[in-house]
């Protein structure tokens, strides 16, 4: 497999280089040179395959010779060991929620983080220096990365999170792992955490001593496994005799929807994608006005989508040869306020007895708006992606709905574990001293 930089298509690297670098030096993003076309036979028979079979087929076509097939099979079995069920919102209805939160950290980021951790471990040679993964998190990324790398040999993860700004369950997911996972509670904001990580990557002395790598959402090995569940959703729809599909994706850094569009480019028949955002609306504004203008992020209830400069957008532009009109045909985009989000959470609960997390609720709202705008035919299957379990954001729900949230077993067991985190100020000297102590 070869990948190029979105900034320079002549700059090509192999898969392992793209995985460990995360980003080319020219600040573009890596994209596969060759996007395979899935054969029609496979698409027509998708309903006969399991998630893991689909994952294997898609990954082997994308990665080609990068990993021997037997090893790839093993990586997939190990990484994708939970389901992504498509749940009808209403008996006999045409709206479905694609639940992507059945992995260990209860968020869709488990797909990317688990696959990436195993790919990195695979490419590490036995006698090489331990891999040090540094990650700043505002909540969901840290948990997925921590649980993804937990116990993975020859790796160590250092997670920085802003004190008092992540939910209780998110904090427990970061701080109760032990083993090769270290949590740092920074007395500052998410931006401070991110700045510390960036400074560490730029520090010559540290880079001599440690083999540093990042684990953020721009890594190509996080994007690839996110294509799997789009194919698998289609397979589940096919089993119900439905094919004409619309996907609504709650979007922040636009990695999730970029993976959906990559699946589409590989031949998955999708009628429409909807990019649903909170008031951090850089993309919906762009699709409306043609002007791409990033902004500082604004805090909302759907905080995993508080992104003013969505890093994966360039990948989508690249997939469509920078043809704005082509993108506008396949991607519609809508943004919603916190008031809209809260109302949607209540509406979904009252109409369908379903508890949706704020990100998920925004995807449902966008689907409603699209259906009204486009006068969707009833034959269509409308799918909104649920990116996290509601229990991760308890403070947002009205008491009555909060009481209905079922806490999954893997979360209940967290409450009895000891929380361990190193408290730190926002100065780089403190962080460097900590890393030097490894």
Ligand X SMILES: *Cc1c(COP(=O)(O)O)cnc(C)c1O
Interface residue list for ligand X (CB under 6 A):
107, 109, 140, 217, 250-256, 304-305, 359, 387-388
Bridge partners, residue 386, by sequence? 99
Q: How would you list the strands of the sheet with 381-386, edge to edge? A: 86-88, 95-99, 381-386, 245-250, 272-277, 331-335
- Nearer residue to ligand X within complex by CB, 217 or 431: 217
Give the integer Cα–Cα distance in Å for 63 and 248.
Answer: 27
Bridging pattern class, strands 245-250 and 30-32: unpaired
CB of 159 to ligand X, least distance (A): 15
Environment class of residue 262 by beta-carbon count within 10 Å: exposed (0-12), middle (13-18) or buried (19+)? buried
Q: Which is nearer to ligand X, 18 or 316 (CB)?
A: 316
Under 8 Å between Cβ of 333 and 274:
yes
Residue carrying structure tokens 């937990």: 150
Selection from 420, 358, 426, 427 nearest residue 386 by Cα = 358
Q: In this complex, which beta carbon is closest to ligand X, that of residue 188 or of residue 250?
A: 250
DSSP 406: P
Closest CB to ligand X among 227 and 380?
227
The H or E element containing residue 249 is strand 245-250
- Between 232 and 282, name the residue whose CB sits nearer to ligand X: 282
Provide the minimum distance between the beta carbon of 357 and ligand X in the complex, in angstroms, as a whole number: 6
Measured between alpha carbons, how far is 333 from 248 in angstroms, rounded to an integer? Answer: 9
- Nearest approach in angstroms of CB 277 to ligand X is 9
The dihedral sign for the CA sequence 257, 259, 262, 263: negative
Q: Which is nearer to ligand X, 12 or 402 (CB)?
A: 402
Question: Among candidates 353, 363, 335, 141, which has minimal Cα distance to 249?
Answer: 363
Smallest separation, CB 240 to ligand X (Å) = 26
Eight-class DSSP state of 107: B
Smallest distance from ligand X to CB 409, Å: 20
CB 257 within 8 A of CB 331: yes
Question: Which of 72, 223 has the CB closer to ligand X?
Answer: 223
Dig out the tokens for 151 from the structure.
């116990």
State how far the alpha carbon of 213 is from the alpha carbons of 21, 30, 117, in Å: 7, 16, 11
Q: CB of 253: closest distance to ligand X in angstroms?
A: 3
Question: Which C-beta is closer to ligand X: that of 286 or that of 431?
Answer: 286
Minimum Å distance from CB 340 to ligand X?
16
Q: Give whichever of 5 and 297 is closer to ligand X, judged by the CB atom.
A: 297
What is the smallest separation between the CB atom of 199 and ligand X, expressed in angstroms? 23
The CB-of-71 to ligand X minimum distance in angstroms stands at 27
Dihedrals phi, psi of 231, to nearest 5 degrees = -60, -40
């Amino acid at each position: 497999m070869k990948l190029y930089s979105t900034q320079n298509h002549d700059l090509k690297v192999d898969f392992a280089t793209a995985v460990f670098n995360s980003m080319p030096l020219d600040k573009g993003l890596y994209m596969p040179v060759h996007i395979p076309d899935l054969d029609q036979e496979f698409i027509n028979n998708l309903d006969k395959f399991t998630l893991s079979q689909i994952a294997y087929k898609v990954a082997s076509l994308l990665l080609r010779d990068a990993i021997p097939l037997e090893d790839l099979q093993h990586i997939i079995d190990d990484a994708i060991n939970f389901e992504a069920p498509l749940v009808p919102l209403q008996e006999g209805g045409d709206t479905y929620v694609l639940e992507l939160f059945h992995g260990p950290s209860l968020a869709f980021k488990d797909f990317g983080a688990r696959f990436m951790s195993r790919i990195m471990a695979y490419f590490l040679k036995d006698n090489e220096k331990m891999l040090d993964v540094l990650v700043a998190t505002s909540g969901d990324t840290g948990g997925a990365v921590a649980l993804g790398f937990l116990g993975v040999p020859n790796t160590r993860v250092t997670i920085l999170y802003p004190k008092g700004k992540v939910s209780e369950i998110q904090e427990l997911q970061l701080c109760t792992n032990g083993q090769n996972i270290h949590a740092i509670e920074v007395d500052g904001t998410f931006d401070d955490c991110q700045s510390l990580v960036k400074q560490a990557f730029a520090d010559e002395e540290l880079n001599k001593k440690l083999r540093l790598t990042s684990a953020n959402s721009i890594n190509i090995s996080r994007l690839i496994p996110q294509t799997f569940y789009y194919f698998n959703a289609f397979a589940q729809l096919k089993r119900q005799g439905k094919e004409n599909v619309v996907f609504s994706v709650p979007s922040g850094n636009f990695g999730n929807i970029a993976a959906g569009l990559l699946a589409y480019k590989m031949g998955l028949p999708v009628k429409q994608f909807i990019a649903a955002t909170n008031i951090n609306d850089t993309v919906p504004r762009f699709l409306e006005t043609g002007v791409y203008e990033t902004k500082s992020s604004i805090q909302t209830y759907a905080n995993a989508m508080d992104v003013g400069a969505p890093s994966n957008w360039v990948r989508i532009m690249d997939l469509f040869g920078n043809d704005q009109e082509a993108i506008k045909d396949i991607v519609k985009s809508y943004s919603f306020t916190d008031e809209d989000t809260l109302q949607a959470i209540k509406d979904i609960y009252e109409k369908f007895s379903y508890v949706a997390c704020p990100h998920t609720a925004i995807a449902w709202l966008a689907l409603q708006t699209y259906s009204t705008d486009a006068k969707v035919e009833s034959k269509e299957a409308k799918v909104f992606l649920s990116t996290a379990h509601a229990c991760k954001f308890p403070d947002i729900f009205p008491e009555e709905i909060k009481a209905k949230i079922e806490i999954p077993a893997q979360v209940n067991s967290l409450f009895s574990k000891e929380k361990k985190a190193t408290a730190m100020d926002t100065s780089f000297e403190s962080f460097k001293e900590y890393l030097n102590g490894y």
